[in-house]
Amino acid sequence: MVNELKSSRLDAAEKSVAQNKKLIFTIISYLAILAIFVNLNNIKSPLVGLIASAFFFVINAIFLGHAFLENEILFFRFTFGVLLLVMLLGFVGWLIMIIYNLDIIEFTLVLVITTTLSSLLNRRMKHKSASQ
């Protein structure tokens, strides 16, 4: 019973992130990127990096998981979202590294592009499934 309650709460939380009303979670993700950037330049704390990265990862993994595996259960949707996010980060990072390099500015650019793409993909798939 307790497990079911927890699971439904998690489901609801994940759905609200995926719905991304008024782009609130995209903005939170951009703020997480800002925190990572400031941390890299000034604070240099792994703890701050871990917390900001966790926000970035959870939000964008939910976006991507929802975009591609809407019909799977929460666990698989989320883990698959994480894998897709790793791939997207890798691809954008690889491309920018080949074009120039991956210093702090370019790295931040990779995160911004990834968040924007995840958010766009999530919205596009949502509209697609709504129209079907």
What is the distance of C-alpha 17 from the center of its chain?
A: 10
Q: Give the whole-angstrom CA distance, residue 127 versus residue 82.
A: 22
CB of 18 to other proteins, least distance (A): 16
CB of 119 to other proteins, least distance (A): 18
Span interacting with other proteins, options 13-21, 22-30, 58-66, 101-109, rule CB under 8 A: 101-109
Other residues' Cβ atoms within 10 Å of the Cβ of residue 60 = 29
CA dihedral for 117, 26, 57, 18, sign (positive or negative): negative
Measuring CA to CA, how many Å separate 77 from each of 41, 68, 72?
Answer: 34, 8, 6
* 100: contact with other proteins by CB under 8 A: yes
Span interacting with other proteins, options 14-22, 23-31, 58-66, 97-105, rule CB under 8 A: 97-105
* 130: contact with other proteins by CB under 8 A: no
Give the list of residues 6+ apart from residue 129 with CB closer than 8 angstroms, or none: 70
* 53: contact with other proteins by CB under 8 A: yes
* Residues lying near other proteins in the complex (CB under 8 A): 3, 36, 39-40, 44-46, 48-50, 52-53, 56, 68, 73, 75-76, 79-80, 82-83, 86-87, 89-91, 93-94, 96-104, 107, 110-111
